[in-house]
Structure 1
Amino acid sequence: MKQLLLVVLTALVFSQTASAQKKIWDETEAQKQERMQWWTDARFGMFIHWGLYAQAARHEWVKKNERISDEDYQKYFEIFNPDLFDPADWACKAKAAGMKYAVITTKHHEGFNMFDSEFTDYKVTNTPYGKDIIKEWVDAFRAEGLGIGFYYSLIDWHHPEYTIDRVHPMSAKTQEEYDELNKDRDMSIYRDYLKNQVREILTNYGKIDILWLDYSFPGKFGKGREDWGSVDLMKMVRELQPGILVNDRADLKDYAGGWDFTTPEQFKVQKWPEEDGVKIPWETCQTFSGSWGYFRDEYTWKDNKQLLVLLIESVSKGGNLLLNVGPTARGTFDYRADKALAEMGEWMKYNSRSIYGCTQAPENFEVPANTLLTYNPETNRLYVHLLDYPLKNFLMRDYGDKIKYAQFLHDASEIKIGKPYGHWVQQETGENDVNLLLPVNKPNVEIPVIEIFLK
């Protein structure tokens, strides 16, 4: 019995010690919610993938995909000169599209720095362009009142001490091959480099709202928290920028304070993501087409309705959308991206009230067929997004005691509320069902929105 008690007590102490070790910093759930509230309300942001790969114009992973050597990739560094780069124009386009924040690549996997770092010569200030792009970008986007986010790649295909792994351009097949490739490389030196650079970007550009680290891939020939020094890295991040929001790709999902939101990539979630049965903050990152970096010959571009549904559906499940632009090597947006942003902006101009500050509708609200619902808990208004415009009668089941007033959001025109009528309808409806009398012709809006004032 004593032995069993000792085992139990030892396990309890170990559990408490492990629990203490699994914490980056102390923060209550209420404090976290307050820290994240601006982002939760914003719902819509711009991702920007920009680097030397824009000159190859065939995917940001071109160095890996084509197994290009450092020597052959160097030509892009030697001629990089985005002479048409106008960050103020970018910021205006993001704001006009309805975006509230933006995240830009300070360094992608290729290892090239878009900022002026003291820890490397492989940086934008040593190219023909000669200026700190990140500083110019931050100043312009901050001037438009947009939240500032930095993407930083944990992976680095250029640093001489970064050990070769399965996603590296020099990747191999066997342990023996990796041992040979890495015999003169010291990951601890790269780990210091990584930490020093993150310190730079969180120190030299004022208040930073989001840090987007990318990415961990534990397992065979992979890398995780130990390789990055993620625990110490995140402690430094929280100390330097206590208000910052951090994604979940540093392999610290089991650490309190090790992450703030999860990041489904190029994926539409089926429901609000959960951890241990609890809904968690989330943001899906998506592209206009199939590539993050500029890809001249890529043609799978989503149309306006697809993009709007991505945004609305994310909010309807309690999440955000981070939508990517891959600028050209001259510093302009692809004409197809410009078109997509303008079209989304036109919709957002009249319908953003169904996005900002909104979330998933309460569970007691039935979702009508071919619609998406969002809900603003502050104003107590429900938004019905008509993905497939109905005929004149729009039946809403069990809403009779919920609706005070209904209108189209885009022009605030009243929608009359009536009882279901007609022999066939009456056979299938209940006492608390209502009928919204819509115009026969669809309004001149890609996805019309009904704004319902709830009782």
Structure 2
Amino acid sequence: MGIREERDKRVKWFMNDRFGMFIHWGLYSIPAVGEWKRSYERISLEEYDKYFDAFNPVDYDPEKWARLAKGAGMKYAVLTVKHHEGFCLFDSQYTDFKATNTKCGRDLVREYVDAFRKEGLKVGLYYSLFDWHHPDYHHYGDLYHPMRDNEEFKDYKYDINRYLEYMHNQVRELCTNYGKIDLFWFDNSYGDMVGEKWKATELITMMRKLQPEMVINNRLECNASAKGSIGTSNPTVYAGDFVAPEQIIPPQGILDDEGMPLPWEASCTMNNNWGYVTNPNNYKTAKCLIRKLVECVSKGGNFLVNVSPDARGRIPSQSEKVLLEIKEWFEENEDSIVGCGKAALEKPEWGYYTQKGNKIYAHLFEQNIGPIPLKIETSRIKRITSLHDMSEVMIVTPWVTELFPDYTFINFQEPPQGTFPLQNEIDTVLEIELNGEEERQG
């Protein structure tokens, strides 16, 4: 079996589940201005240690996190077990800079994987490739290191191979000590630190041996703005299983060099930051996130929405509110997301289509001035049902539609040329069952 065939087998569950929770959490939750604070403000290790000394998330309850994720229709989660600051939420034998050495004294990753598995969710781990705490990672002259322009570090001696040994050992721990890991999320190649600069072939070979079914993103080879060799006919061993754009939804999905769809996942913040901030404003609405989820699925992709727990270990109330509102919509409309992908139809002006087998789902985002046009031959349609209440949706042929014989027009009730009433202002979903079997396109 070739690299691409193995990839397609691994990502089958991933591209079926479609919706996940990203969780950015670390020492940066204490200053509460975002996860890049140490880099932006050029903070020394000694000054940053005050957050390590203070870290004590007394309200950490991963079972509550898992229930929120599951209720909102999320099928998997990805936790930042080590972000760029280098602090480990897991009990690594290769560092003292870890949660078990703080006042917390707990292996937070162990509790996370146990809680999410208990709720039937798949578990993912995020691991930053670069590390601002390790003495053998680039300092002066690096693109991002807090000491990158500090003249005191101009002659600082480091051994990148010692860091790579450390990084590989920690990844081995994560792939060995926590049971089956469904998803591994690397972040982030940059500059000349790409591919074999991470000893990527060696790393992936080890990971595949320990976790052969684990899905891995493409960021050993590139950053969020690129595909890497996953899109070519000859991908590298470390090309990854899916493309990982962030804070953007690809306008047309993502295709390989031959024009075939690639697995991809768009990630986004719920507000304007990945890490916790105290600002209660700028949160995306449930309406926005539901519609963006639909857009991703309609283009053959996944959607990973971030939450940012605070220093006490609580998901902010604003995020909880949004997740509960998503839950209300998802309880009725899950069939139009899970197991669905791109429909064999052009995007309509009133919303999006998703498709699963011989069922096409029409996602109506706006009210029309009359009956709704579907670019589907009427003879192909077996029945149309509203997912809101399973009520019948009528196919109508009012006199005002005579100029458009290539369309099927629908409405809930008489008069047939009247306004189509949206049952949900966020997204009213109709299930269009076709005669015979038809497969989605990607």
Q: State the TM-score, normalized to the length of structure 1.
A: 0.88
Deviations 1:29-69 (A, max 9, x none): 44432321111110000000000000011011111111111
Name the structure 2 match of 1:452: 432
1:320 aligns with 2:297: no
Name the structure 1 match of 2:144: 167
Residue 431 of structure 2 aligns to a residue whose secondary structure is: strand
Name the structure 1 match of 2:46: 71
State the distance in 1 between where 2:220 and 2:6 align.
22
1:270 aligns with 2:251: yes
State the distance in 1 between where 2:27 and 2:3 align.
42
Name the structure 2 match of 1:438: 412
Structure of greater Rg = 1
Percent identity of the aligned residues?
42
Cα pair 1:291 1:298 within 8 Å, conserved: no
Q: Choose from 193, 201, 222 the match for 2:166.
A: 193
Map 1:403-418; keep pairs closer than 5 Å: 403-418=381-396
1:251 aligns with 2:221: yes
The Cα of 1:182 is off from its aligned counterpart by: 5.4
Cα pair 2:81 2:109 within 8 Å, conserved: yes
Name the structure 1 match of 2:338: 356
State the distance in 1 between where 2:374 and 2:196 align.
54
> Which 5+ residue runs of structure 2 have no aligned equivalent?
223-227, 230-234, 414-418, 436-442
Cα pair 1:347 1:445 within 8 Å, conserved: no
Q: Choose from 254, 257, 274 the match for 1:292.
A: 274
Cα pair 1:163 1:182 within 8 Å, conserved: no
The Cα of 1:313 is off from its aligned counterpart by: 0.2
State the distance in 1 between where 2:3 and 2:275 align.
38
The Cα of 1:153 is off from its aligned counterpart by: 0.5
Name the structure 2 match of 1:155: 130
The Cα of 1:28 is off from its aligned counterpart by: 5.5
Cα pair 2:57 2:311 within 8 Å, conserved: yes
The Cα of 1:399 is off from its aligned counterpart by: 2.7
The CA RMSD measured in Å over matched residues stands at 1.7
Cα pair 1:148 1:209 within 8 Å, conserved: yes
TM-aligned CA distance change 1:298 to 1:192, over 3 Å: farther
Q: Choose from 176, 180, 183 the match for 1:203.
A: 176
The Cα of 1:92 is off from its aligned counterpart by: 0.5
- The letter of the residue matching 1:167 is Y
Cα pair 1:417 1:434 within 8 Å, conserved: yes
Map 1:71-90; keep pairs closer than 5 Å: 71-90=46-65
Q: Choose from 363, 377, 390 the match for 1:399.
A: 377
State the distance in 1 between where 2:297 and 2:321 align.
23
Aligned residues: 415
The Cα of 1:445 is off from its aligned counterpart by: 5.1
Cα pair 1:391 1:438 within 8 Å, conserved: no
TM-aligned CA distance change 1:239 to 1:182, over 3 Å: farther
The Cα of 1:250 is off from its aligned counterpart by: 0.4
